[in-house]
Amino acid sequence: MQFFTIIRIVGVLVMSFSLTMLLPALVALVYGDGGGREFLEAFSITFAVGALLWWSCREYKQQLRAREGFLIVVLFWIVLGCLGAVPFILLEHPDLNFTESIFESFSGLTTTGATVITGLDHLPKAILFYRQFLQWLGGMGIIVLAIAIIPMMGLGKLYRAEMPGPMKDEKMQPRIADVAKMLWQIYFSLTVLCALAYWLAGMTPFDAVSHSFATISIGGFSTHDASIGYFNSASINYITVFFLLISSCNFALHFTLFHQLKDPKEKRKNSVLTRLYWRDYEFRSFLVIQFVLFALCLLVMWAYDYFTTANIRFEQVLFQSVSISTTAGFGVNDFSQWPSFLPTLLILASFIGGCAGSTGGGLKVIRVLLLYLQMNREIHRFVHPNAVKPIKLGRSVLSDRIEEGIWAFFSAYIFVFILCWLMAILCGMESFNAFNAVLASLNNLGPALGSVSSNFTQVPDGAKWVMTFAMVCGRLEVFTLLVILSPVFWKD
């Protein structure tokens, strides 16, 4: 294990991350409502830590193996989450203790969107911007950004550990740095388009940029306590839904589209490009899931005459079903007060989340689809024991390795969920509240039901550490974190 090389790389990454704290300081200078000094102090501390790590191991430049890549990803998220909490610790308002600062930082970077801060409407703009920017960085993955801007020897190994999805190595070109650069170009372009749309729909420039960060990253943080409901605008609701659906799509499809559009020969194949997304089985399944959820919500609301007895509109039902099921967690009203089984349905739908390779959380649509196909195969085998029935997506036959990996991931996901649920109860949470808090954390959702329907202020400090662990597991898709806890990982 090349420990000194790992420390050197983490040091450079930390120094790079420290530069992001200068942006909130600049926001504080522009708006003049406080927070600038604390962010400059946080920058100094973070940069010094990164410089110390790099300087002490600057001579070590050995080639990295895949195993070191996994360790760097986990170490970097832990170090980054801890150092990202420094501004929250230094700030006097909001007055967060150490545990709450760590929780808020990890919630932002993992795009969970759970918060322990109230009174957002009265906070300095620098703090609000910082929370949103943390989510934007965590959305695509700070490690992929590092691959794009810091071409170090062996750093491309991190891509396999960072990018989500069971078939993540099959849709990208082998040149990881070029892939990462184009992914971030797409990510940045979507953010700019989203911010412009929000601004044209009536948001202030600050709110438009801030909410575009949280929308494209499917994070769910807002600059207002009432979230998107603060604006009370149907056009803003539709814009949010549109960009959440785009961000929930596999970025490998966006990558393929942009790559073909850059090729003059491919530009003429418009018919091929227009079919690109629809031919993807995961994307089609994702749209079907979204449509079924929305239709169910709409039918139940109509059946209960909820549109005539409450201030609920058509686009709000669409907004809430998409926001919760894609694990964004934005809100326009208190959906926990909706009739019948709808709140529970939407919360459980977050277990599915977005597509693999997207900024969404949850198990991912492709895994749920493959689990469904495997279930059908086993039913067929039960009736016809001697039948040979491979699992196929279209014309592609999936290997046994992928099938085994799907079940292993699902088992690990449920194991972590139950473990964190029991630990939260042990920390003093009531069973129902603990269930919802862990569900919201592991699926990177944010709000849920019960005491965590709006924020996590009532969660005991001990349970906040459990939720932080669950957030990291969800963001790194369980195995990346669990693999370094295995004794096999540390054997040469």
Tell me if 250 sits within 8 A of 355, measured CB to CB: yes
Instruction: Flag whether 327 is marked binding.
Output: yes
Q: What share of the chain is helix, strand, coil (3-state, %, to 5)?
A: 65, 0, 30
Instruction: Flag whether 398 is marked binding.
Output: no
Identify which of 208, 216, 162, 210 has the alpha carbon closest to the alpha carbon of residue 189.
Answer: 216
Residue 359 CA, distance from chain mean position: 5
Tell me if 354 sits within 8 A of 253, measured CB to CB: no
Tell me if 183 sits within 8 A of 259, measured CB to CB: no
Identify which of 74, 410, 355 has the alpha carbon closest to the alpha carbon of residue 402.
Answer: 410
Tell me if 100 sits within 8 A of 433, measured CB to CB: no
Neighbours of 312 (CB within 10 A): 17
Q: How would DSSP label each residue in 21-50?
A: GHHHHHHHHHH-SS-HHHHHHHHHHHHHHH
Q: How would DSSP label each residue in 73-120?
A: HHHHHHHHHHHHTHHHHH-SSS---HHHHHHHHHHHHTT--------G
Q: Is the peptide bond before 94 cis (omega within 30 degrees of 0)?
A: yes
Instruction: Flag whether 328 is marked binding.
Output: yes
Backbone angles phi, psi at 324, to 5 degrees: -75, -45
Which residues, 6 or more positions from 190, have their beta carbon under 8 angstroms from its beta carbon? 216, 243, 246, 247
Instruction: Flag whether 111 is marked binding.
Output: yes
Distance CA 336, CA 328 (A): 16
Instruction: Flag whether 393 is marked binding.
Output: no
Instruction: Flag whether 218 is marked binding.
Output: yes
| Three-state DSSP state, 397 | strand
| Three-state DSSP state, 387 | coil
Largest CA distance in the chain: 74
Distance CA 403, CA 172 (A): 21
What the block records as the tokens of 38 is: 């604390």
Q: Annotated binding residues, as ranges?
A: 111-112, 218-219, 327-328, 444-445
Q: Annotated binding residues for K(+), as ranges?
A: 111-112, 218-219, 327-328, 444-445
